[in-house]
Amino acid sequence: MMKMRKMVPLLLSILLMASGCATGNRGAVPEVDRSLNGTESNNQQGTGNVNEDDVTSRLGYVRYKKDELNADEESRQMVSIDRNKTADTITRMILRYDGFEEAATLVTDDEVLIAYTRPEEMEREKAASIAKKTAMSLMPRYYDIIVSDKAVSFQEIQSLKNSSTLDRDYENTLRSVMESMKKAPQGEGWPEANVKDRDDNAMTE
C-alpha cells in the first residue's frame, strides 16, 4: 500500500509532462510532405485550402517493379485516351503558331483528322508538316494522322463529331472523309519543318 502511495505522485508528474508537450506542439510547423516527385510542401490535407497553381504545376510520377505487374493483365492493357481532351489540346497547340487562325481536330481510336487554315505566306507542305508533327508529338505512333487545308474539311470533320464507332455507316463515312482530306498536302515535302515558331503565349483559353 505504501508503495502505491509513493507511485501516485510519480504518475501525476508523468501525465503533466505529457500534457505540456502536447500543448507546446499546437503551434508547431505543419508536417512536411515529401512527395514522390521530389518536392517538399507543407501538408495541408484536410484544410480545404488547395492552391490551383500548385495542383497544375505538380509532376506525375509512377514507379513499378516488373514482378508487381500481372503479365496477363498488362498484355490486355490498352492505352486509354480522352479523345475530346486530346483533340482540344492538338487544336490549341496548332493555333499557337503564327498565321494559323482556325483549326479543328477529330480523334478516333486509330486516327487523328486535322483541318486548318494555312498562313497566307506559308507553303502548303510546310503548313501541313507543322500540323501533322504537332499531333505526332502527342499521339501514340500507331495513330494515322491526316491533315488538310481545304475549307470543306472543316465541314467533313464536323459531320463526324457526333458519330459513334458503333454506328452502322461510321466506317464508310470515316474512310470517305479521310480519302478526301488526303488530296491536300500531307507535309511529306517538309520532313524537317521548323516548328520553333510556336508562340506559347498565344494559346486561347
Give the CA distances from residue 142 to residues 73, 111, 122, 145, 199, in Å, rounded to whole numbers and listed in that order.
21, 9, 29, 9, 28
- The position carrying cell 506559347 is 200
Q: Give all strands of the β-sheet with 111-116 in edge-to-edge order.
A: 103-107, 111-116, 144-148
- Which pLDDT tens digit goes with each residue over 54-64? 656 777 777 77
pTM of the shown model: 0.60
pLDDT digits (tens, 9 = 90+) for 51-96: 656 656 777 777 778 777 776 565 555 456 789 999 999 999 999 9
